[in-house]
Amino acid sequence: MKAISIFQKGSHQWLCFGRDPEKVEKIIDTNQYMISSGEQSIILDPGGIELFSQMLTSVLRYTTLDNIKALFASHQDPDIISSLGLWDQCLKNSKLYSPWLWESFIRHFGMNNIQYEPIPDEGSEMTLGNVTLQFIPAHYLHSSGNMHVYDKEAKILMSGDVGAALDEITAPFFVEDFDAHIPKMEYFHRRWMPSNKAKEEWISRVRRLEIDIIAPQHGGIFKGEMVNTFLDWFERLDVGIAKNK
């Protein structure tokens, strides 16, 4: 599994893990993020059970198990958090931050040691080392209880499935050519995102934040001018296209 640093200022760092060449072919590639500040780290959307071993090995290159104070699951999907039962064996005194809506579902993945910290619908905050992380509501994008993570100091929004693309394993970590990137994400957004109303509310909320990087859970990361290009594109996109007949 590859790892890159997408932000660093002193001990405050964002790492992205992904583009795993050893991934089983039919499993979707995912980006996992780890934020560290001081002696504390949080793993955002730690991933599925199938890539746990690569993820654990990669994470330990940069932090210790004792320093992993929390996990965050943007929603309940298996590619986000089905590894929970294995992380639960490794982490002591750690918390899982996730939407309150999913607590009784996510516990099915196995959770004896980690403590569930339900995030209310309106979002909340947590302190990690010397930084404050905000949980930003993103309900119905695509899950009915969905949160994103905003780091005001790093100006990074971890956007879960918003901005996700089905990229090649060899693709660069950052989106370089937006037009070429559209076909990799258009159907995903139109089919997976159920509500134009939810999308518009989210865009309006996110436009009020100062963002240098939008970091999705699949595919390329949007940086600099790509951030607004993506928001403009998403604003124009008609989502929720599936028909029942």
Partner 1 sequence: MTSQSNDAADTFISVAHVASELFKAQSIAEELSITSKNARALAVRAGSTAAGFNEITRFIEGLSKLTIDAARSVNTIAISQTKIASDLFRAQGFIAKLDAVVYASKGTETDELKPIYDVVDERRQRLEGKIKVTLKELVDRLDETKMELRATQVVSVVSRVEASRAHEDFQNSLNSVADKVSSAGERINTHLERARRHLAHLRNR
- Shortest Cβ distance from residue 64 to partner 1 (Å)? 9
Of 73 and 91, the one with the shorter C-beta distance to partner 1 is: 91
Query: Which one of residues 22, 177, 179, 210 is an interface residue with partner 1 (CB under 8 A)?
Result: 22
Please identify which residue in 5, 11, 57, 228 interacts with partner 1, judged by CB under 8 A: 57
The sign of the CA dihedral 162, 168, 174, 177 is negative
* Binding of partner 1 by 4 (CB under 8 A): no
With CB under 8 A as the contact rule, the residue among 27, 65, 111, 203 that binds partner 1 is 65
Q: Toward partner 1, which CB reaches closer, 94 or 159?
A: 94
Distances (CA, A) of 177 to 101, 111, 189: 37, 41, 18
11 counts as binding partner 1 under rule CB under 8 A: no
- Count, residues near partner 1 per rule CB under 8 A: 15
Task: Return d(Cα 214, Cα 60) in angstroms, integer.
Answer: 25
Q: Which is nearer to partner 1, 80 or 157 (CB)?
A: 80
- The yes or no reply on residue 56 touching partner 1 (CB under 8 A) is yes
Pair of tokens at residue 93: 């005194």
List b or e across 25-60, with b for residues whose CB sees 16 or more CB atoms inside 10 angstroms: eeeebbbbbbbbbeebbbbbbbbbbbbbebbbebbe
Please tell me whether residue 61 binds partner 1 under the rule CB under 8 A. yes
Helix runs in 60-218, H state only: 78-81, 84-90, 103-106, 178-192, 196-207
Half-sphere CA count of 239, side-chain side, radius 13 A:
24
For residue 61, the minimal CB distance to partner 1 (Å) is 5
Per-residue mark of binding to partner 1, 71-90 (x: CB under 8 A): --------------xx--xx
| Letter string b/e over residues 118-152, b meaning 16 or more CB atoms within 10 A of that residue's CB | ebeeebbebebbebebbbbbbbbbbbebbbbbbbe
Q: How far is the CB of 34 from partner 1 (least distance, A)?
A: 13
Residue 111 binds partner 1, judged by CB under 8 A: no
Judged by CB under 8 A, which stretch of 58-66, 97-105, 147-155, 185-193 contacts partner 1?
58-66
DSSP string, 95-123: EEEEEGGGHHHHGGG--SSSEEEEEPTT-
Span of 48-56, 161-169, 183-191, 195-203 interacting with partner 1 by CB under 8 A: 48-56
Residues in contact with partner 1 by the rule CB under 8 A: 22, 49, 52-54, 56-57, 60-61, 65, 85-86, 89-90, 112
